[in-house]
Amino acid sequence: MRSSRTSSGIAVAGLLLAALSAAPAHAAALSPPPGYGCEVTYASADWATGFTALLTISNTGSKPFSPWILQFLFSGNQKITVGWSATWTQTPPSVQAVNPTWAKSIDPGASTSLGFQGTYSGINDKPTDFTLNGVPCKVTYTDIS
């Protein structure tokens, strides 16, 4: 026979597990850690099968991003051919830009600029899901004139 203490512990653990599994899995990703915030301006210019993108990353929080990694997703067949002011890698649909050695930190209130050229066919949709060190960023899209 089980003691009431063991049965109560199992019941509480079961309730806790049920409550955690009912919570949305993305809830933690919606709120950045205290002190962290970012904004990305994505400016692009397209031509027949290529494009240029200029990005500005702004630290809108009170803590530095040091070192930093910017990540985002392409929805189409976009391929980065050359990039600058970061080390660029791409595993479709994901893109990653890692800070250069000469700019390892984005301090609060500061920003940094980087960019790339790429190719595509069909439609060149704007990338989505920008994060800086895993912190979701506000994004503004503009066209290069």
Tell me whether strands 38-47 and 94-98 are parallel, antiparallel or unpaired: unpaired
The distance of Cα 116 from the centroid of its chain, to the nearest Å, equals: 17
Alpha-carbon gap, residue 126 to 140, rounded angstroms: 11
Mean pLDDT, the chain, integer = 85
Here the CATH number for the domain that contains residue 132 is 2.60.40.290
Q: Is residue 26 part of a domain?
A: no
Whether 4 has a pLDDT exceeding 50, the answer reads no
Q: Quick one: pLDDT at residue 145?
A: 72
Q: Is residue 114 part of a domain?
A: yes
CA dist 129 to 41, 51, 82, 97, 132, Å?
13, 20, 21, 14, 10
Q: Is residue 75 part of a domain?
A: yes
Q: Is residue 15 part of a domain?
A: no
Q: Is residue 63 part of a domain?
A: yes
What tokens does 50 get? 């290529």
Q: Quick one: pLDDT at residue 68?
A: 98
Which residues of the chain form beta strands (DSSP E)? 38-47, 50-59, 69-73, 79-84, 87-91, 94-98, 111-119, 128-132, 135-136, 138-143
pLDDT greater at residue 27 or residue 44: 44
Q: Is residue 4 part of a domain?
A: no
The proportion of the chain whose per-residue pLDDT surpasses 70, expressed as a percent, equals 79
Q: Is residue 23 part of a domain?
A: no
Give residue-wise pLDDT tens across range 70-96.
999 999 999 999 999 999 999 999 999
Whether 33 has a pLDDT exceeding 70, the answer reads yes
pLDDT greater at residue 13 or residue 44: 44
Beta bridge partners of 47: 50
Q: Quick one: pLDDT at residue 54?
A: 98
How many structural domains are present in the chain?
Answer: 1
Direct distance between the N- and C-terminal alpha carbons of the chain, in angstroms, rounded to an integer: 78
Q: Is residue 131 part of a domain?
A: yes
Q: What range defines the domain where residue 136 resides?
A: 31-143
The proportion of the chain whose per-residue pLDDT surpasses 90, expressed as a percent, equals 76
Give residue-wise pLDDT tens across range 111-132.
999 999 999 999 999 999 999 9
Of 27, 99, 19, 23, give the one whose Cα is nearest residue 65.
99
Whether 1 has a pLDDT exceeding 90, the answer reads no
